[in-house]
Amino acid sequence: MKPTNNMDFTPEMLALLETDGKHGTMHAPAMDRTLLFVGPEAAAPKAQIKERGLELKCVESYMQARYWLEKAASHELPFAIVCEVEWNRQADQALAEMIHENPVLRRVPFILICPNGRSMDYRTALEMGVDDVYRAPFDWQDVFRRIEFLRGFKRELSLGNPAAASKFDGRIPTDKRVFDILVSATLLLLLSPLLLIIALLIKLESKGSVFYIAERAGSGYDIFPFYKFRSMRSGADKQLKELSETNNQYGAGDEAVFVKIENDPRITRIGRILRNTSLDELPQLFNVLKGDMSIVGNRPLPLYEAEMLTTDHSAGRFLAPAGITGLWQVTKRGGNDMSISERIQLDIEYAQNYSLFYDFKIILKTIPALLQQSDV
């Protein structure tokens, strides 16, 4: 028997909703700074909550969570709802449906943590209205990054962004995915001799791994290992903070969202050639073949950059698949005059309009763009 939603709209709650004349949609009040944690208090991520300036509200059962939400939603919303209790079908369905059917609460990120030894079908959880599921082992930092993305994403959804409405699950469309597999597999086969030569040259010039592997945030803020040929000396990441303050073309300090170092002294001679010809990007074909990325999309970002783009309209750029090449790369390839806002806007434009035909147009522009020199 399907549980009923016992939560009625109070006059106070209705007063907090307003209609946007342009989109005709209802808007929730500003998010509160309280994280609702459903489960044993000892399991709550208290250090991460304090680090972010949040307050913790801990309840032990779904029934208590519903009671707290019914009271709180009349005047404030939680920052997020995180549940870490045994997944009981009847109880959790009642809570999930209450959140999903309420136009105010469904804009709050709703995360399920499966306790050790427990399992939960991911698709079933999503159908109930859960936004994401984490199983042990996991990193709480990743959970909070996901929450930040969901907050910005759900704001886009409430504003009537068609890209957000149609691309919430972050899956690459079938025709685009088939194209990606065919192209990446073919190129890896044809370019295998070149890949081996590049690997040999890198090893001969400097010590260290042939590949540079780092975590990147892609579509829907999913985090994956990102592959490139190593173009810098080993240990170059340790010098990034100092150089980002002095050589960052986008600015220094807190204003620097993207980090691009001009005349980077960490780059090797072979690395400079690889970068200027974009040959260092070739290992990303393995990312495409795996499904982490697409041939065309928005560039996956380092986590320290992605964390700055999870609020307001900036989150819209994560609605597109991550890609090797994309709209902003072919718009001003190698130019130093592209502002942060221009780059974000181009990413959002692609996210709102991407299709296989649109990808073909970008690919045709990519080849001449690769011939332009770039030292950033």
229 and 332 co-located in one domain:
yes
Whether residue 4 lies inside any domain: the answer is no
199 and 258 co-located in one domain:
yes
286 and 311 co-located in one domain:
yes
- pLDDT for position 195: 96
233 and 346 co-located in one domain:
yes
Final residue in a domain of this structure, among 160, 195, 227: 160
Neighbour-count burial of 374, counting CB atoms closer than 10 A to its CB (0-12 exposed, 13-18 middle, 19+ buried): middle
What is this structure's pTM? 0.59
- pLDDT for position 205: 87
Whether residue 168 lies inside any domain: the answer is no
180 and 132 co-located in one domain:
no
Final residue in a domain of this structure, among 160, 186, 218: 160
- pLDDT for position 106: 78
- pLDDT for position 190: 97
- pLDDT for position 191: 96
Full residue range of the structural domain in which residue 347 is found: 174-370
Q: How far apart are CA 63 and CA 69, in angstroms?
A: 10
155 and 198 co-located in one domain:
no
- pLDDT for position 237: 56
- pLDDT for position 284: 96
153 and 182 co-located in one domain:
no
Tally the residues of the chain: 376
CATH value at residue 32: 3.40.50.2300
Whether residue 375 lies inside any domain: the answer is no
- pLDDT for position 77: 79
Whether residue 35 lies inside any domain: the answer is yes
pLDDT beneath 50: ranges in the chain: 1-30, 168, 247-255, 334, 375-376
Whether residue 2 lies inside any domain: the answer is no
pLDDT in tens, 238-284: 555 555 555 444 444 444 555 555 666 678 889 889 988 889 999 99
